[in-house]
A = this chain, B = another copy of it.
Amino acid sequence: MKIKFLPLIFLSSIFSSNCFSQTQQENLIEYVKPIIGTEKMGHTFPGATVPFGSVQLSPDTDTIPYAVDGKYNPDVYKYCAGYQYGDSTIVGFSHTHFSGTGHSDLGDFLIMSTTGKLKLNPGTSDHPENGFRSRFSHSSEVAEADYYKVNLEDYNILAELTTTTRVGFHQYTFPKSDQAHIILDLISGIYNYDDKNVWTYVRVVNDTLVTGYRQTNGWAKTRTLYFAMCFSKPFKSYGAKDFSKREPYRGFWGKLDQRKNFPELSARQLRMYFDFNTDEGEKIKIKFALSPVSCENALMNMHEDTPSWDFDAIKNKGQQLWNKELNKVVVKMNTREDMINFYTAMYHAFISPTVYMDVNHEYRGVDQATHTAKGFTNYTTFSLWDTHRALHPLFNIIQPKRNNDMVKSMLAHFDQSAWHMLPIWSNSANENWCMSGYHSVSVIADAIVKGVYTGDASKALDACVTTATHRSYEGIGYYMDKGYIPSEKDGSSVSTTLEYAYDDWCIAQLAKKLGRTEIYDQFIKRSQNWRNVFDPSIGFMRPRMSDGTFRKNFDVLETDGEGFIEGNAWNYSLYVPHDPKALIQLMGGNKKFIPHLDSLFTMQLPDKFFANTEDITRDGIIGNYVHGNEPSHHVGYLYDWTNQPWKTQRTVRMILKNQYHNGAAGLEGNDDCGQMSA
């Protein structure tokens, strides 16, 4: 299905007029600059991926520990996507990355090519020569849709990457060497800490094929990722170093030398290497396939996805996929800069959720069992607190088939969940419970009401209701009994109450569509609960105590733990997306509301507020309007419900110009799996 029209209101004013008339496929990938957002807070990655690919293969410029001396290391935050544009060394290329998240995981199976004396530690950015990492410069770096290239200067190796949905395809052009090495680092990872690696297993099947798995305990608490790795040229020898603390019992293993040419290894902390002789300019290629289920499935994925060793063919196929996706919206804009902003945003919007299923449709469920996705493609990486706002509604319009499959994936999650709940923030067969609300219901209701979902709608509604009435989950019991979450019970009591109210409205709309009146009545009533945390005496949403009184100690500029999360009372008080008219009325009507809204964008904030704001650069805040975080993304549109709707166009254009730029630092806040770009 190919829909060509304009879903993005805030972009409409800058389009040229012929955007509906395109029929020929245009070469739009030239406007995709994956490097945008790789500096500071964007947390995007510059590497190679196909749309919604399982493999997202990208350079890691550092893999620093999550904690130092047992204490959280704030620097780790920079490396949510493994890459920071300001860095000058590359540790290697790993196969899985989140795009734009504000917490992280993944970075599995780091590959590095070197020459000379074998080094099995990564070294430091200050002294790259002490480890296997290499210096690089942006002048040799090319980052396109599904293609990344860089020169590894310390070894004079040209590294090129491309991917299919389930396979990372590497091509390394070596100098002449009788000491060429390819390192497979099973320790390296993003947001790594000492105990994160639960177990790793490697099996050298023959002199071109290696299989295994990495099992981690990270943001995804119980996660195993299997691989099959195939070399285009046989290695002459191989070996491993186990960096685990010594285990007390090694028994008869002592009689075997596990360091060299030992074909089966398992340990907590393992790095492997493979040795080659290379001629000048010789290319060694690697196919690296992933599976959430088994090594055999990874091998099957490899055979299906990459039948040949033709790097350019794989790359071209991947870029065609992107062109096809980007052609779903064909626009002409005044400047190349605008075109790049637009299509790179579209690119970033089409990276997550990610396919989580082998070519035979097997995947790991959130119950840790192997399932088969019957009649749909299973997805993971659901950052729903972020993406329910604009990304999934966008998908509903220009990715309806995928959005249908994503809803089916969420409902499969529900069926498998030990908690009998829809996903909150799910990844790799795990629920990490990140952020608040039960926003799956918003995505599901939208897909059903708009006719995109092809499954059993009534069953989907039941899943929404079960999730929304799970009394022991984050204050839902209080919310059901009192109509709000008491301040004593939850640090983000107000924002959670507001989000529940919006989600409840979504459930009500779905129930209405399906004619299930009792549920409609129950949830349309619940959707009014936002009123219970509004303090008319100050005109803001405000934390409320169990006894019904509003919290005395309260600052409208405070955020996390003070009744709110990622948005203070100024921003969150505007969060009634399902009933802006009523909100405006409660806030004093046009006369009071419009100046109030104007002042949000212009007021001066005290410095301490910037220090308290996570996830965004200082430039991610306009006045007191926090675009870099999600709860305000609808705020510019609120003027449309006043008698000055033109201010929406002005404000949205201002936000767009202010917050989205070309260049590595082009995003002012975490891209959050595509929500910012959407």
Residues on A facing B (Cβ under 8 Å)? 66-67, 70, 72, 103, 191, 193, 195, 198-199, 201, 203-205, 215, 217-219, 221-222, 245, 247-249, 251-253, 255-256, 261, 263-264, 266, 268, 294-296, 367-370, 418-419, 425, 432-435, 472-474, 490
A429 → B minimal CB distance (Å) = 11
Whether A219 and B249, one on each chain, are in contact in the complex, defined by CB atoms closer than 8 angstroms, is yes
In the bound complex, residues from chain B placing their C-beta under 8 Å from that of A219 are 249, 251
Candidates B268, B368, B435, B490; contact of A201 at CB < 8 Å = B368
Whether B419 and A248, one on each chain, are in contact in the complex, defined by CB atoms closer than 8 angstroms, is no
Besides A256-B473, A264-B418, A295-B368, 16 more A-B contacts (Cβ < 8 Å) are A66-B248, A67-B249, A70-B248, A193-B247, A193-B248, A198-B199, A199-B215, A219-B251, A221-B253, A221-B266, A252-B432, A253-B432, A253-B433, A255-B474, A294-B370, A296-B369
Candidates B66, B205, B252, B294; contact of A249 at CB < 8 Å = B66
Give the residue name and chain of the B residue nearest to A264 (CB).
B418
The 20 sampled A-B contact pairs (Cβ below 8 Å) are A66-B249, A103-B251, A193-B247, A193-B249, A195-B247, A195-B248, A195-B268, A198-B215, A199-B199, A199-B217, A201-B368, A203-B418, A251-B432, A251-B434, A252-B432, A252-B435, A253-B433, A256-B473, A263-B419, A264-B418
Whether B203 and A266, one on each chain, are in contact in the complex, defined by CB atoms closer than 8 angstroms, is no
A193 to B425, CA, bound (A): 35
A473 to B252, CA, bound (A): 12
A295 to B204, CA, bound (A): 28
The A interface, classified by DSSP as helix, strand, loop or mixed, is: loop
Candidates B195, B198, B199; contact of A245 at CB < 8 Å = B195
A217 to B246, CA, bound (A): 12
A436 → B minimal CB distance (Å) = 9
Candidates B199, B251, B367, B490; contact of A222 at CB < 8 Å = B199
- Most B C-beta atoms less than 10 A away, residue of A219, A249, A435: A249
Candidates B295, B434, B472; contact of A252 at CB < 8 Å = B434
A249 to B434, CA, bound (A): 12
A74 → B minimal CB distance (Å) = 13
Whether B434 and A263, one on each chain, are in contact in the complex, defined by CB atoms closer than 8 angstroms, is no
The 3 closest A-B pairs by CB, nearest first: A264-B418, A263-B418, A252-B433
A221 to B262, CA, bound (A): 15
In the bound complex, residues from chain B placing their C-beta under 8 Å from that of A193 are 247-249
In the bound complex, residues from chain B placing their C-beta under 8 Å from that of A253 are 221, 432-433
